[in-house]
A and B are shown apart, each in its own frame.
Chain A
């Protein structure tokens, strides 16, 4: 029995190794046992069938291959039998992919021959020398280093800027007139804030800008250091008057004086361009500088006056009067009461239907810190902000026209420091027909006036450079705290101030003899022993004698 089993096993092993249609061996192996596993038979017959098909294909392709070698070159035939998976029969493509992966993409003849086993594209039935395009699956070329080369990116950006420059030259405004910006300033806390913003705006203007900065009290190093970063065509930094920091009430007077001084400078140097009164704290949109290019002699723009909104008096409207026609239809929804409407916060020209200048819309005074600063004179004319007026520089110095007369009168006013009546900017608009109403007579606001000033006495580090360290208000977590009272180690979770106050008195800066060494009664070990639990509010021994925290 045992011998029989051994022979049985041996023959079975043999039949497993041999594939193919060797019925004799199979029959031999299974003569002993009648129980033939059906699965084994089916597997073997399937393998036999597949090898039959493969053999047939192989022989067919080999004959075609040999036949075409006579006609065309080897490379032509090889390329035509390139790996062409047929999408329509997905199974074949998968099979083909597996074969190609196992064989690799080597150009060995065996590989190409094996690849040629696969059913080729049905189009390629006849090959010829002519370059007939054949449809096959191409490789998707991906470069190994995906990131762009930084130099090429910079070149691309250079290309973009060059093209945009050309666009500006072709389609932009022709004959760009230089802008002359007159800015009064004086040293104060908010100067850095305002001047930096204005500096950046003027640097972005796409054209030459002459910036005249007139400083009250003479030229100072602080202002000069702020102005070093300006990218303008020409910068004139002038000083005027004595160094007195004005209060908020005197600010408009001082600014007017400085602006007139700026106009004198324009007259002196005979500058060309368009004068814009660019106050420090104003915000200009770049469209504004495009808009003022249209000015011939004088122009007026609308200025958005911000800061009046919460301080101005709102006007009350009765809602019932407004909705009188509608409530009958709606019925149930009855609105009553008053709504508040504020005036539009714009200073600007007002035109009639034909576009002629009829009047000005302005405000009662400017508001700062809940105080209303009304102009000393009762008339309204003095309250127009100069920022809304633009003039051609030639109007200031050109001989032959009668314009400079008003400038002389203004200069006389500057020199006399007693007169509180501000000169009226509208006096230069003698012939109101020559005034150009920019922005469609007040339809567009491209310039905003917003005053933000601090109290005159506020202290700030001069030049905004800190010489000494600031006082600590919030301590860092890991600081070995020297100024906290003894008996209080640095806690990982800082207690809320209220808890701290309840538990410990406010720490006072203590000056201990012998430095700030923690030793003895102040040693850390002692602290650890009696640690305060801020959450539960328990107290320790150390707390009971606050006075003993000072080593004496």
Chain B
């Protein structure tokens, strides 16, 4: 009797297991037109940072942050608006802690890119002094800065060359990263290998692009992609570099001179009102460098499913440890620009379809956006994930009491003036 019952139970279990297996197979065979993304740090794009780190937000006087916004609300819409939105996000995030003793990371909300010209371009001339003044404030009001001299602090510096605080590359190189930020972690948009302004351990983020503006302009995905290569933007910066050769290291000018008559290339300086719609009808979107190697075109290309063709030597792309950019985009060296059409047409269709599948992954699109309100997997969460991956801190960053490493008088004389 018991044997029969055991056999009966056994057969019931196996049939149940087979049914489960069958169902799982059916579910997984359902149309999956996108692929999971895993970068060098593993499959971390969809990690949840809550519970993995704690961030303490310093309360700075409003002259460092809110006053700038009141003076010029354009700071919330230009491509450097990440610093404002990260502040807002952290204030409301579950990773925020009010107890600084248990915090892993410390955030200083200072809006260094909010001093705008009438045209809307940020002036970086006061930024070093502002940053210095903010650091001296937090070092005098809280003991945590002096504990590590910034080793567990992070700052958001989304300007052209990050913490070098200048828009001209030669001047930025000359200044270098602000000496007081030498030990901190920087969250910036600029990323170029072997460059003074990319400190080791920085987190590279995408430039801010307004999510609602882009997400309201989707066209039906069945619209056939008929444009081979698409680009809209300047090729020559006539105001600053009339001869050419400085702007974009001559790469954009090379693209124009070589391919302006090529029927496969839809490139022009005229910015049409159907810019976003056209990107959705294109297969490749050029993302060449400008005065700085990064550009919002990367974000736009990813959102609209257009494969980015990145023409910027040694560039470090956003969240490079979480997103395998070599599998998603096409990298072309600046010296190979005259052969761009050959390079692009020789890519096999399977590879192109693979890249499109990776781009279609909603996690990928989400990671590039600073969503309002915040969504899981968006750029804010990727920043926190990046910070969480740097934990636990190296014990060497903790200084002995009385020990100082940073030189507060280092840097150009103009920076030392109080702000």
Q: Chain A residues in contact with chain B, CB under 8 A? A: 87, 121, 123, 130-135, 137-143, 146, 148-149, 152-153, 155-156, 158-160, 162-164, 166-168, 170-172
Contact = CB atoms under 8 A, between A and B. Distances in A.
Interface stretch (B55-63, B112-120, B242-250, B269-277): B242-250
Contacts of A168: 222, 224
A149 B335 CA distance: 19
A172 B174 CA distance: 56
Given A140-B245, A142-B257, A152 B221 contact: no
A133 B194 contact: yes
Contacts of B226: 160, 164
B346 to A, nearest CB: 7
List 9 A-B pairs, minimum CB-CB distance, nearest first.
A171-B222, A138-B250, A137-B245, A143-B338, A156-B345, A162-B349, A164-B224, A152-B345, A135-B170
Interface string B97-132: 000000000000000000000000000000000000
B337 interface: yes
Contacts of B243: 87, 137
B64 interface: no
Interface stretch (B258-266, B319-327, B394-402): B258-266
B173 A140 contact: no
B335 to A, nearest CB: 7
A121 B170 contact: yes
Given A123-B170, A141-B250, A172-B222, A133 B195 contact: yes
Nearest to B168: A135
Interface residues of B, number: 47
A149 B342 contact: yes
B277 to A, nearest CB: 16
Contact of A87 (B174, B195, B246, B249): B246
Given A133-B195, A156-B344, A171 B339 contact: no
Contacts of A148: 262-264, 341
Interface string B190-211: 0010111000000000000000
A428 to B, nearest CB: 33
A528 B246 CA distance: 76
A163 B338 contact: no
Given A138-B250, A143-B338, A152 B222 contact: no
A163 B221 CA distance: 12
Nearest to B225: A163
Contact of A132 (B196, B261, B283, B347): B196
B256 to A, nearest CB: 9
B249 A152 contact: no
A140 B339 contact: no
B188 interface: no
B345 A153 contact: yes
Interface in B336-376: 337-339, 341-342, 344-347, 349, 352-353, 356
Contact of A140 (B250, B261, B356): B250
Contact of B249 (A131, A138, A142, A146): A138
Contacts of A172: 222
B246 to A, nearest CB: 6
Contact of B222 (A138, A143, A163, A167): A167
B70 interface: no
Residue among A141, A158, A160 with max Cβ neighbours from chain B (10 Å): A141
Tell which of A132, A137, A159, A166 has the most Cβ of chain B within 10 Å: A159
B253 interface: yes
B358 to A, nearest CB: 14
- Most chain A CB within a 10 A radius of its CB, from B243, B344, B345, B346: B345
A164 B254 contact: no
Interface of B: 31, 33, 169-170, 173-174, 192, 194-196, 220-222, 224-226, 228, 241, 243-246, 249-250, 253-254, 257-258, 261-264, 283, 335, 337-339, 341-342, 344-347, 349, 352-353, 356
Contacts of B338: 141-143
Contact of A163 (B173, B174, B341, B353): B353
Select the residue from B33, B221, B264, B339 with max chain A CB neighbours within 10 A: B264
A490 to B, nearest CB: 47
Nearest to B241: A87
Given A135-B246, A137-B243, A160-B283, A171 B220 contact: yes
Contacts of B263: 148, 153
A159 B345 contact: yes
A149 B224 CA distance: 25
A163 B360 CA distance: 14
A140 B353 CA distance: 33
A126 to B, nearest CB: 11
20 contacts: A121-B170, A123-B174, A131-B194, A132-B173, A137-B243, A138-B245, A139-B245, A148-B263, A152-B341, A152-B345, A155-B345, A158-B349, A159-B349, A160-B283, A162-B349, A162-B353, A163-B225, A167-B225, A168-B224, A170-B221
Contact of B342 (A134, A141, A152, A160): A152
A163 B349 contact: yes
B173 A123 contact: yes
A163 B281 CA distance: 11
A531 B176 CA distance: 96
A140 B174 contact: no
Nearest to A172: B222
A134 B194 CA distance: 12
A156 B263 CA distance: 11
A292 to B, nearest CB: 17
Given A133-B195, A171-B221, 5 more contacts: A139-B245, A148-B263, A159-B345, A159-B349, A160-B225
Nearest to B347: A159
A141 B337 contact: yes
Nearest to B236: A140
A324 to B, nearest CB: 42
A134 B224 CA distance: 44
B273 to A, nearest CB: 24
A133 B352 contact: no
A142 B283 contact: no
Contacts of A156: 228, 264, 341, 344-345
A141 B345 CA distance: 20
Contacts of A166: 353, 356
B173 A133 contact: yes
Contacts of A121: 170
Contacts of A87: 241, 243, 246
Given A152-B342, A163-B225, A139 B250 contact: yes
A92 B109 CA distance: 45
Contacts of B194: 130-133
B225 A164 contact: yes
A137 B246 contact: yes
B254 A167 contact: no
Contacts of A142: 254, 257-258, 338
A300 B392 CA distance: 69
A158 B226 CA distance: 11
A163 B228 CA distance: 11
B248 to A, nearest CB: 9
Nearest to B253: A140
Contacts of A123: 170, 173-174
Contacts of B283: 159-160, 163
Contact of A167 (B221, B345, B347): B221
Contacts of A155: 345-346
